[in-house]
Amino acid sequence: MRSELEQDILKVLVTEEELKARVAELGDALYERFEGKNPLFLGVLKGCFMFMTDLVRACQLRSDIEFIAVSSYQNATVSSGKVQITRDLQQDITGRDLIIVEDILDSGNTLAFLKDYFMTKGAATITIVTLLDKPARRAKAVEADLSGFTVPDEFVVGYGLDYRQQYRNLPYIGVLKPEVYSG
Ligand code: IMP
Ligand code: MG
């Protein structure tokens, strides 16, 4: 496939094939946990969008989907710590078994905030599924129940993850060249 994004990528951390195989495993793991239970897949926009579509297809349970959008980065590469809801839930989640779908668990600020928020909204159970886990930078005591890949302390893009809203459409997870940030 032709690509004008590839020239900005220093290295590929997770290939398209590896993503596909791991998402299938995560789908199976969720199936086993939630068989007969009608969970609500709750994606955290925008980063989750690609992972979410693949994950729900990999998990043929009776279930529905919902999204919430938050912003904490304000276009920087380091979390500001403050989380704002920019698009709220559009349905009642009282009594629901939630499967939160995140792109990456980094400082933990976003998921710590969302976990509290969903509990106050009456969720019965909360299961956190993150595609990537970057444990090196954790500031809040929050862990994923299921995680796709552990990544080193580098800023990654692709498969939903952005740098200044770009690179979300890369089919793999990669690290940007340093000159992309400075330029
Ligand atoms: P946290 O609140 O620091 O855990 O970060 C959560 C959010 O920050 C993620 O959902 C991403 O949108 C964003 N984020 C954290 N690390 C990265 C990265 O390496 N690349 C792109 N986005 C990131
Ligand atoms: Mg995100």
**Residue-range domains of the chain with CATH:** 17-151 (3.40.50.2020)
Give residue 95 CA to ligand 2 midpoint distance, Å.
Answer: 25
Residues 86, 87, 93, CA angle at the centre, nearest 5°?
A: 130
How sure is the predictor about 82, in pLDDT bands with cuts at 50, 70 and 90? confident
9-66 pLDDT, tens per residue? 999 999 999 999 999 999 999 999 999 999 999 999 999 999 999 999 999 999 999 9
As a whole number, mean pLDDT of residues 77-98 equals 89
157-168 pLDDT, tens per residue? 999 999 999 999
The one catalytic residue among 54, 103, 106, 133: 106
Q: How many CB atoms lie within 10 A of CB 121?
A: 14
CA gyration radius, the chain: 16
